């Protein structure tokens, strides 16, 4: 049976590129020429900002769509602008799907069952409005936080199956202090390994054609030893790997997340969408910023091909 | 120096009631008479649903405002309806504040630093739109998830101080499977105790007049031994206590979260706002549902007074 991870792997193969572009737009690096008309129409308001980031995303998505299998909008960058921001998030998801991309909603939700059901129905299912079934966010995957345990995950499972959706559960995150809780030792293994075992177990009923579950794991490339252990511990779990680029993961750090050239997708956010602010691509600033996005996404693809398929 | 926890404790004393009402509206228990006009105007759509829950919240808030110090809207119930839902959430926060209530945004966000900054500025700070400083959600407190460690918490701290806001960090949640990760043992203490120590430490610089930090902890009353240990371990940390009512915590379970009559606030959501669906208050169904909310909130107050100040 095909699951959403099969769809993702097929697209990775089609583009020969195990990369996902994080759509984390920040006003500070969106070129003035993109923001101008939104500000003129709506002012420097939550609505003006939301329109500007949606405009920016459309430019980025149009440029990267031929080269990457997926995008990962980070909802915080939209949610901060309230309802207008959420509207821009939803339109970004829809626009990316229209361009044939798999969409991973980076929402990192985690709550008790009755609440998790709302997140699940809203993001990867359908909400029931007194008999009317309505699709709201409709991402292909979302990220979730495991701290509350299985009953906080269970409300997503029926929607995975019913609507062909997927999850990436935080296991070992890429940030510097991730070890504070995730690396605590418990009966000889680290908390993140215990979480890894749980996630692998939760995913057992949704294994697809390539041998990977619809329930994946977020495993930061910035912690190589841990990533290597998790790769061995979770052979049927697909990894979403943050930490490439700005956060400093090396080629070797990335390589351990794969096996036989598949098993992971590597995220870069600012390294692609804010490429024009780096010295390397500075020649493409201002109205030519889409050329920096294009060059950065191609450079990342070549880099990953060297690492994964060398 | 006064912090937001001082403000909350003052309101608890003023109302003689350490209760917070969870605003987790579900269409399934909102009386038809409330939903009717929203559906007539906007249809059974995300907008119609959002307007219905906001209308419902206004009825509830008007009834409970004289009796409780605080409300805790659960954002998932709003977020599921997309931008319209978030708009209803923001208006609910504002309406509750206008009625003099402390507002705890139950958002349980947790992400890496650059992302956490967006959640922080959006929810408890101000967002910068190219030089314009805009207030968006403006809750008094929000809940956050600690799984990513200190650098995921740090971006909230400057807004706590700058805008007089507070946090409740998930330590030991009330749900049945919370122990799966939170109760793992590590060097002789449980993960939730380790998290409790971290939270107590993060809060040391924001202790207020009553001796409690602006960084509180979510500690479920459904796990009495753990709550008792945490109360001893975190003497300067104010507790937000879910689990009363529907989730089955007893009077003794609640009592251990307090010391000398303060130190905690106890949440009830459906037990109050869906009281009309229980047999006890069934005589107040339909258009009289606000009387069930009133009676339930008074009954809870009397119950808590007996537990905490007996």
> What pLDDT was estimated at residue B76?
98
* pLDDT computed for residue A127 by the predictor: 98
Query: Is B129–A45 a contact, with Cβ atoms under 8 angstroms apart?
Result: yes
Q: Which of A15, A58, A97, A108 is catalytic?
A: A108
Q: Show residues of chain A in contact with B81, CB under 8 Å.
A: 122, 127, 136
Residues in chain A: 310
Does B285 score more than 80 pLDDT?
no
pLDDT digit string, tens, across residues B27-83: 999 999 999 999 999 999 999 999 999 999 999 999 999 999 999 999 999 999 999
- Chain A partners of B180 at a C-beta cutoff of 8 Å? 149-150, 198
- Best interface-test mutation with A: which of B49, B181, B273 has the largest number of A CBs within 10 A? B181
What is residue A251's predicted lDDT score, i.e. its pLDDT?
Answer: 84
Report CB contact under 8 Å: B129, A184: no
Q: A141-174 pLDDT, tens per residue?
A: 999 999 999 999 999 999 999 999 999 999 999 9
Question: How many domains does chain B divide into?
Answer: 1
Task: Compute the nearest-CA separation of A253 from chain B (Å).
Answer: 19
A-contacting residues in B 243-282 (Cβ below 8 Å):
none
What are residue B134's phi and psi, to 5 degrees?
-120, 135
Chain A from 82 to 111: CB within 8 A of any B CB? 82-87, 90, 108-111
Suggest the residue from A85, A86, A196, A240 to mutate for an interface test with chain B (most B CBs closer than 10 A).
A86
Are B147 and A170 a contacting pair at CB < 8 A? yes
Question: Domain range for residue A125?
Answer: 4-308
A149 contacts on B by Cβ (under 8 Å): 175, 177-182
Compute φ and ψ for A151, nearest 5 degrees: -65, -15
Spatial CB neighbours of B240, under 8 Å, sequence gap ≥ 6: B20, B72, B104, B143, B168, B216, B217, B218, B219, B264, B265, B267
Q: pTM value?
A: 0.97
Nearest to B262 by CA among B206, B208, B196, B194: B208
Interface residue B241 vs chain A (CB under 8 A): no
- Per residue in B257-273, pLDDT (tens digit) is 999 899 999 999 999 99
CATH number at residue B118: 3.20.20.70
Q: Do A152 and B194 touch (CB under 8 A)?
A: no
Nearest-CA distance from A1 to chain B in Å? Answer: 29
Interface of A with B in 123-182 (CB under 8 A): 127-132, 134, 136-137, 145-152, 170, 173-182
Residue of chain B nearest A24, judged by CA positions: B115
C-alpha distances in Å from residue A180, one per residue of A187, B116, B195 = 17, 17, 9
- Asked if the model's pLDDT at residue B190 lies above 90, the reply is yes
| Spatial distance between the Cα atoms of B306 and B310, rounded to a whole number of angstroms | 5
Are A142 and A110 in contact by the 8 Å Cβ rule? The answer is no
Separation of alpha carbons B299 and A179, rounded Å:
45
Phi, psi at A236, each rounded to 5°? -105, 15
What pLDDT does residue A285 have? Answer: 77
User: CA nearest A83 in B: which residue?
Assistant: B83
Q: Residues in chain A with pLDDT < 50?
A: none
Q: What is the pLDDT of residue B250?
A: 84
A73 touching B, CB under 8 A? no
Q: Please check the confidence at residue B20 and state whether its pLDDT lies above 90.
A: yes
Distant-in-sequence, close-in-space partners of B230: CB < 8 Å, separation ≥ 6: B171, B172, B192, B193, B196, B217, B219, B239
For the segment B98-151, what is each residue's pLDDT rounded down to a tens digit? Answer: 999 999 999 999 999 999 999 999 999 999 999 999 999 999 999 999 999 999
From the list B13, B58, B97, B108, the catalytic residue is B108
The per-residue pLDDT of chain B, averaged, comes to 96
Determine, for residues A134 and B45 on separate chains, whether the beta-carbon distance falls below 8 Å.
yes
- Contacts of residue B179 in chain A, CB cutoff 8 Å? 149
Min Cα–Cα distance to chain A from B14, Å: 31
Shortest CA gap B310–chain A (Å): 31
- To test the contact with chain A by mutation, choose from B50, B175, B245 the residue with the greatest count of A C-beta atoms within 10 A, namely B175
Min Cα separation B106/chain A (Å): 10
Residues of B whose CB is below 8 A from A181 = 146-149, 191, 194-195, 198
Nearest CA in chain A to B177: A149
Q: Which residues of B touch A37 (CB under 8 A)?
A: none
B108 as an active site residue: the answer is yes
For chain A, positions 198-237, list CB contacts with chain B under 8 A: 198
Q: What is the pLDDT of residue A105?
A: 98
A58 burial (CB, 10 Å; 0-12 / 13-18 / 19+) is middle
What percentage of residues in chain B have a pLDDT greater than 90?
92
B132 class by beta-carbon count within 10 Å (0-12 exposed, 13-18 middle, 19+ buried) = middle
Distance CA A35, CA A55 (A): 8
- Using DSSP, state whether A146 is helix, strand or coil: coil
Out of A44, A82, A242, the one facing B137 most closely (by C-beta) is A82
For residue B193, the 8-state DSSP code is H
Rounded to 5 degrees, φ, ψ at A69 are -80, -20
| Residue B172 β-bridge partners | B219
Query: Rounded to whole angstroms, how far apart are CA atoms B290 and B296?
Result: 10
Please, which residues 33-72 of chain A have a Cβ atom closer than 8 Å to chain B? 35, 39, 43-46, 48-49
Between the CA atoms of A119, A120, A125 and A127, what dihedral angle is there, to the nearest 10 degrees? -50
Could you tell me how far CA A272 lies from the centroid of its own chain? 14
Report the pLDDT value the prediction gives residue B148, as an integer from 0 to 100. Answer: 97
Cβ contact (<8 Å) for A145 and B147? yes
């Amino acid at each position: 049976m095909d699951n959403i991870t099969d769809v993702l792997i097929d697209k990775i193969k089609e583009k020969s590129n195990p990369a996902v572009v994080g759509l984390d737009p920040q006003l500070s690096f969106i070129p003035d020429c993109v923001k101008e008309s939104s500000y003129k129409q709506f002012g420097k308001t939550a609505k003006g900002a939301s329109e500007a980031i949606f405009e920016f995303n459309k430019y980025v998505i149009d440029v990267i769509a031929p080269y990457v299998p997926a995008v990962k909008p980070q909802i915080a960058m939209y949610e901060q602008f309230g309802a207008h921001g959420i509207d821009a998030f939803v339109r970004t998801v829809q626009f990316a799907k229209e361009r044939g991309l798999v969409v991973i909603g980076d929402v990192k939700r985690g709550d008790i069952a009755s609440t998790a059901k709302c997140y699940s129905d809203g993001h990867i299912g359908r909400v029931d409005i007194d008999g009317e079934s309505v699709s709201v966010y409709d991402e292909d995957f979302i990220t979730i936080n495991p701290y509350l345990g299985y009953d906080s995950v269970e409300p997503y499972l029926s929607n995975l199956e019913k609507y062909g959706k997927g999850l990436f559960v935080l296991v070992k995150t890429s940030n510097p202090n991730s070890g504070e809780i995730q690396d605590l030792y418990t009966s000889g293994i680290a908390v993140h390994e215990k979480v890894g075992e749980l996630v692998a177990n939760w995913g057992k009923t949704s294994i697809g054609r390539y041998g990977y579950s619809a329930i994946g794991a977020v495993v930061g490339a910035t912690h190589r030893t841990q990533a290597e252990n998790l790769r061995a511990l979770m052979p049927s779990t697909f990894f979403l790997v943050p930490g490439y680029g700005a956060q400093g993961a090396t080629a070797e750090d990335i390589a351990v997340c794969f096996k036989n050239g598949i098993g992971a997708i590597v995220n870069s956010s600012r390294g692609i969408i804010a490429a024009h602010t780096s010295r390397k691509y500075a020649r493409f600033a201002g109205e030519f910023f889409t050329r920096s996005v294009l060059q950065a996404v191609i450079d990342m693809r070549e880099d990953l091909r060297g690492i994964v398929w060398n």
